Amino acid sequence: MNDFFSLKNKVAIITGSSRGIGKAIAIRYAELGASVIVSSRNLDACKLIANEIVSGNGEASSFECNISNKKSCEKLVEFAINKYGKLDILVCNAASNPYYGNLSDIPDESFDKIMNNNVKSNLWLCKSSIPHMKKQKKASIIVVSSIAGLQGVKNLGAYSVSKTADIGLIRSLAVELGEFNITVNGLCPGIIKTDFARALWENPKILKNIENYAPLKRIGNTDEVAGAAILLASDPGAFITGQVITMDGGITIAGRG
């Protein structure tokens, strides 16, 4: 039972893993035996996390990747193959949201950037990874979406559109790749205590509203997302594909009175 969720001898790429949810996934994957590639635009920050993992007797490497650039995404996958000879797990976690406001007012450039960084980059990473994953007996692709992809969201409409598109990408890739024993799933976090969501959970009024409305009466932490990522990458999750796991304290199922 101790090896039930083992990731021993697995190689995993996690984008946006120098902080927040990606960092938690990278650290927990390494604790379970995976060799992880920590990646983000900030190489120094990636090296700090990789060194933290290595100092804890884990295996990790760092690689600078700007997900807005196709070549950079391709080079990230090439690095994993050159370093470890294979790829078992891809976690598409990096995303951006440079615009806050109504969809009716969003500049084309901002919309294009959101869709490029949050959707197209995931497709680029998958396209580069799939040929290598087909060589494995089992492989996993995990895309970090959001509860914004399950709902309409005021002032975050473009972000919501991109995260909804990610769910469509997950489902279609799952259908395409099932015959190769490659599972494709998503994670839909709610408000998690990360730097990305700091503006929300550091605002006392917003935080109180979330805590009052959520059935669990709190926001989440990064390990609570990493736990689902472990399930989807390990043998116990091998029969799950084309699905999204929502971790939001129950917000999306709580009806407003």
- Of 178, 186, 111, the C-alpha closest to 146 is 186
Exposed e or buried b per residue across 204-218, where buried means at least 16 C-beta atoms within 10 angstroms of its C-beta: eeebeebeeebeeee
Q: Are 111 and 158 in contact (CB under 8 A)?
A: yes
Distance from the Cα of residue 158 to its chain's centroid: 18
What does the alpha-carbon distance between residue 65 and residue 10 come to, in Å, rounded to a whole number? 21
Cα separation, 210 vs 103, in Å, equals 23
Taking the C-alpha atoms of residue 138 and residue 205, their distance in angstroms, rounded to an integer, is: 46
Helix axes 222-233, 20-31, angle to 10 degrees: 50
Q: Which residues are catalytic?
A: 159
* Interatomic CA distance for residues 172 and 154, integer angstroms: 27
Are β-strands 244-247 and 182-189 bridged in parallel, bridged antiparallel, or unpaired? parallel
